[in-house]
Structure 1
Amino acid sequence: MLEIATKVHDEARQGEAFAPFANDPNKYQRRFYIESYGCQMNFSDSEIVASILNGEGFGATRNFEDADLILLNTCSIREKAEQTVRKRLTEFKKLKQSRPSLLIGVLGCMAERLKSKFLEEEKLVDIVVGPDAYRALPQLITEADGGQKAVNVLLSREETYADISPVRLNSNGITAFVSIMRGCNNMCTFCVVPFTRGRERSRDHQSILKECAELFEAGYKEVTLLGQNVDSYYYSSEGSQPVTFAQLLEMVALISPDLRVRFSTSHPKDITDDVLHTMAKHENICKYIHLPLQSGSTRVLQLMNRSYSREWYKAKVERIRELMPDCGISSDIIAGFCTETEEDHQDTLNLMEFSQYDMSYMFFYSERPGTLAQRRYADDVPEEVKKRRLQEIVEMQNGLSLKSNQNDLGKTFKVLIEGTSKRSELHWMGRSSQNKVIVFAKESYDLKPGDYVHVKVNDCTQATLLGEIVVN
């Protein structure tokens, strides 16, 4: 779908891949290593996989050279991500030549789409597992140990992994992701998610509340509720009243006023006034909404099957500002979608300026196999035009991000300390309710990660607020 991502957050977690923590080496018979690429849902899924593997006698290792099983949790959203995974698999294949017992597996969205190529044509992997088949991993590992090629990419209409307690990988012990639903019913023409992750289904709200409460009891201070489209969360069971996303959001917020609640991602057509009123009502529900635009042209939005117009989107932004004037808003933007004209491109730039985004994820369009756009439309915008338009979008966002941060100069924010700044051992790094990164001196205060502190902003960069602790 998309190529060349640009985002602005110099203190945020960077990179597409990560390795998990190292378990006690004496506790487990075999070791696994996992890397995750793409969206936060993939990172969350890796924590489910880790839990399943722990139950089968596998402990995690940070070093792939020490692993008996190497897994890559993959993403099909961007061509660049697929290229990175292929390169990585080639490296692991060389390691396997010296260690034939090593098993290599691919999980996630690429697994479903490229299973035959990985297993038969390129012979890069031993195991291929789709997003709804992680419970089958133990059986697939046994088959692969016996020399068979093991594959399960079946999609499910019920699987939510609600009963599995995730193993928190590379956790800072302060923030955690909680999956509340899987799949997507929105058939955006540029997107592969409905084909790789299946139809939408919501997780039992009681299991979500239990997981969030246990995280808080374990010392976590922030949870992010995850889904391809969290606003369409709707859980219904026989004999009980259905639960909407607004109701779930309030239930999680009521666990404790000291537990911050975020959510991602929203589809503009589904974020309701009930959600906005709930956010405004509770101080611990963060005042931040990721509201993907994709294009500022109504004509292009129709080609994308986004189910809203330019005017409708503007009205949604205005409603958010009306109910929560201090709410941060970020977006996703695609440059050069099929048939996009210069006028369409200018519509996008103009709507960005209207919305005053704090931050955006920006890409130029590249056709993804199997999508509706690939079947319906010609990818007819020249690459040099896409790149030029993307650069103009990036420049627009850079200016908006700097302006947004400059508007915060002199203001004081409640900040959750997440850890030491990556750039200085003498500074803390945390986030405001609006999801802005704030860096400030540790000084002599007796503080630790997980503490809340009030910070006055004295300076800023395009990506980061710089401040000092304010004692009340």
Structure 2
Amino acid sequence: MALAEPRKEAKNGVADKVALVALGCPKNTVDAEVMLGDLQSKGFSIVRHASDADVVIVNTCAFIEDAKKESIEAILEAISLKESGAKGVVVTGCMAQRYADELSGELPEVDAVVGFEKYAEIGPRIEEIVTKSGFSMPTVEVGSTDVPFRPEWERYRITQQHAGYLRVAEGCDHKCTFCAIPSWRGRFRSKSFEAIMEEAKKLVASGVTELNLIAEDTNQWGQDFGSEDPRRLADLLHEIAAIEDVVRIRLLYCYPSYFSDELIDAIASIEKVCKYIDIPLQHIADPVLKRMNRPPKDHTVKLLAKIKERVPGVVLRTTFITGFPGETEADHKELVEFCNEWGFQRAGVFCYSEEEGTPAAEMTDLFVPAARSDRQRDQLTSLIQEGQRRFAEQQVGKKLEVLIDRPGEGGFGSVGRTRFDAPDIDCCVYLPQTFPPGTYVDAEITGTFDFDLVGDAAGALEGMGED
């Protein structure tokens, strides 16, 4: 079910059909859902497959080089659909914001390049595309990076109907030397408490029972309010938890700073808050952290120790970068030992990606050979995966709450997630029984599939959501 208002009557009784190719992170997903909600409310018909559309929107990602390549491939594929009847291609997302002129110049087959601030005006651009005749250069509308917040509850949902992303802030004030995101997402700014609560309530009213809080730096929420408004993330968690039909609240994208005692206590004490924290660390060796302009090792170790002590059973998700300029074999060994010691249950490892315009890109005399970076990534990934397997095996024999996401296959009736698994990026639980998506079940874990779990559930938990 979409959160957008019912579609208005289309001109001449026929709606122009729009499809969206969604790439990138959950922040991009929210942008995509809001865009589609706007278009549906204006009379456009949203279709699932790009091949069925009159106009294809490609919502791009520009985080690292691989993401850019994937985005370009998706744009080219959308352009190719013009040969079989599609009328236009619109490029949105981070590549549109960052590389608007390059995209319009090098891919003139694109009809429009639209940045964040102009998303509300995509409807008129699409109307122009479907009615124009002949070739014209792409329309480029980008606007500011510090985009004012607008309501984000009138969405056309492309994610699971029972699990939604709730954006609490936008932009980033940190100056990590490898990251270009602040250059196109702008300065950090918290969404107002009132707007977040209204959006949360409307998402829940639409059937969402799991709210995943997101931002570039989620736990910084409220820090920019100043003394006039003392509310911080801990207060927000308490208020969201008071919404009756919310079952799970999850924190994603937490920077190692801003973990107040009040926030840690809220995570520990609020039953609806998953004992799961996504906290990207990137590295642990001080020489690397200093060049990254990240918090030092001592800060991180003390923070992790405090979280583990005060949030029993907490599951930590993190990310690490190998091959950052100047990283030595000794630095990498220290990172390996750190991962061995802390045993992260959920983690991703990426090779350093050079981003133009960042301070790290200027460290040319410190570049690490790609072969070494790849080898270190593979080594660290294998180590972390062994820990994930052990963690999965430790769940056998336990009873865990599982939220059903989708039907199963290959002899399994349903596939779901535990409280320590975020949508799309973490592990699954396979059950022989068939339950509707959105159902919560109490499952006994009977085995593992590598990192995933196999379980058996007697029935749905009473009073907990179902799509």
Question: Which category describes the TM-score, using the shorter chain as reference length?
Answer: 0.7 to 0.9
Is 1:438 the counterpart of 2:438 in the alignment? Answer: no
Paired residue for 1:168? Answer: 157
Measured in 2, the distance between the counterparts of 1:72 and 1:355 equals: 39
User: Cα distance, 1:267 vs. partner?
Assistant: 0.5
Measured in 2, the distance between the counterparts of 1:465 and 1:25 equals: 47
Is 1:343 the counterpart of 2:343 in the alignment? Answer: no
Q: Across the two proteins, how many residue pairs are aligned to each other?
A: 443
Q: Which one of the candidate residues 70, 74, 79 is aligned to 1:88? A: 74
- 1:378 to 1:256, Cα distance in 2 relative to 1, 3 A: farther
Do 1:162 and 1:203's aligned partners in 2 also have CA atoms closer than 8 Å?
no
User: Cα distance, 1:60 vs. partner?
Assistant: 0.9
Is 1:31 the counterpart of 2:20 in the alignment? Answer: no
User: Cα distance, 1:293 vs. partner?
Assistant: 1.4
Paired residue for 2:61? Answer: 75
Paired residue for 1:465? Answer: 453
Q: Which one of the candidate residues 50, 60, 73 is aligned to 1:64? A: 50
Do 1:47 and 1:167's aligned partners in 2 also have CA atoms closer than 8 Å?
yes
**What letter is aligned with 1:30?**
D
- 1:215 to 1:70, Cα distance in 2 relative to 1, 3 A: same
- 1:138 to 1:257, Cα distance in 2 relative to 1, 3 A: closer
The TM-score normalised by the length of structure 1 is 0.87
Measured in 2, the distance between the counterparts of 1:411 and 1:326 equals: 13
- 1:94 to 1:225, Cα distance in 2 relative to 1, 3 A: same
User: Cα distance, 1:469 vs. partner?
Assistant: 2.2
Q: Deviations over 1:210-259 (max 9, x none)?
A: 22222222222111111111101118779973431111111111102652
Do 2:284 and 2:297's aligned partners in 1 also have CA atoms closer than 8 Å?
yes
Measured in 2, the distance between the counterparts of 1:182 and 1:82 equals: 21
Do 1:25 and 1:59's aligned partners in 2 also have CA atoms closer than 8 Å?
no
Paired residue for 1:264? Answer: 252
Residue aligned with 1:243, SS:
coil
Measured in 2, the distance between the counterparts of 1:338 and 1:134 equals: 37
Paired residue for 1:216? Answer: 204
User: Cα distance, 1:150 vs. partner?
Assistant: 1.7
Residue aligned with 1:334, SS:
strand
The TM-score normalised by the length of structure 2 is 0.88
- The CA RMSD over aligned residues, in Å, is 2.5
User: Cα distance, 1:44 vs. partner?
Assistant: 1.2
Measured in 2, the distance between the counterparts of 1:350 and 1:54 equals: 52
Paired residue for 2:113? Answer: 128
Q: After the TM superposition, which residues 236-255 of structure 1 pair with which residues of structure 2 at under 5 Å, given as runs?
A: 241-255=229-243
Is 1:225 the counterpart of 2:213 in the alignment? Answer: yes
Q: Deviations over 1:288-309 (max 9, x none)?
A: 0111111121110111111x11
**394-403 vs 201-210, which deviates more?**
201-210
Residue aligned with 2:255, SS:
coil
Q: Which one of the candidate residues 15, 24, 40 is aligned to 2:26? A: 40
Measured in 1, the distance between the counterparts of 2:142 and 2:300 equals: 36
Paired residue for 1:204? Answer: 192
Q: Deviations over 1:189-228 (max 9, x none)?
A: 1112101111111112222212222222222211111111
Residue aligned with 1:286, SS:
strand
Give ranges in structure 2 of 5+ residues lacking alignment: 1-6, 422-426, 462-467
Do 2:215 and 2:253's aligned partners in 1 also have CA atoms closer than 8 Å?
yes
Residue aligned with 1:455, SS:
strand
- 1:458 to 1:262, Cα distance in 2 relative to 1, 3 A: same
Is 1:150 the counterpart of 2:135 in the alignment? Answer: no
Measured in 1, the distance between the counterparts of 2:14 and 2:148 equals: 28
Report 1 or 2 for greater relative contact order, CA contacts < 8 Å, sequence distance ≥ 6. 1
User: Cα distance, 1:377 vs. partner?
Assistant: 4.8
User: Cα distance, 1:425 vs. partner?
Assistant: 5.6
Measured in 1, the distance between the counterparts of 2:32 and 2:411 equals: 30
Is 1:415 the counterpart of 2:406 in the alignment? Answer: no
Q: Deviations over 1:154-182 (max 9, x none)?
A: 2243512236522212x332111121111
- 1:384 to 1:239, Cα distance in 2 relative to 1, 3 A: closer
Is 1:400 the counterpart of 2:376 in the alignment? Answer: no
**89-98 vs 453-462, which deviates more?**
89-98
User: Cα distance, 1:36 vs. partner?
Assistant: 1.5
Residue aligned with 1:188, SS:
coil
User: Cα distance, 1:346 vs. partner?
Assistant: 0.8
Paired residue for 1:360? Answer: 347
**What letter is aligned with 1:29?**
A
Q: Which one of the candidate residues 97, 114, 138 is aligned to 2:123? A: 138
- 1:406 to 1:136, Cα distance in 2 relative to 1, 3 A: same
Measured in 1, the distance between the counterparts of 2:348 and 2:117 equals: 27
Q: Which one of the candidate residues 271, 281, 285 is aligned to 1:297? A: 285
Measured in 2, the distance between the counterparts of 1:349 and 1:238 equals: 40
**What letter is aligned with 2:64?**
R
Do 1:89 and 1:124's aligned partners in 2 also have CA atoms closer than 8 Å?
no
Identity %: 26
Residue aligned with 2:273, SS:
coil
User: Cα distance, 1:415 vs. partner?
Assistant: 1.8
Do 2:153 and 2:202's aligned partners in 1 also have CA atoms closer than 8 Å?
no
Give ranges in structure 1 of 5+ residues lacking alignment: 1-22
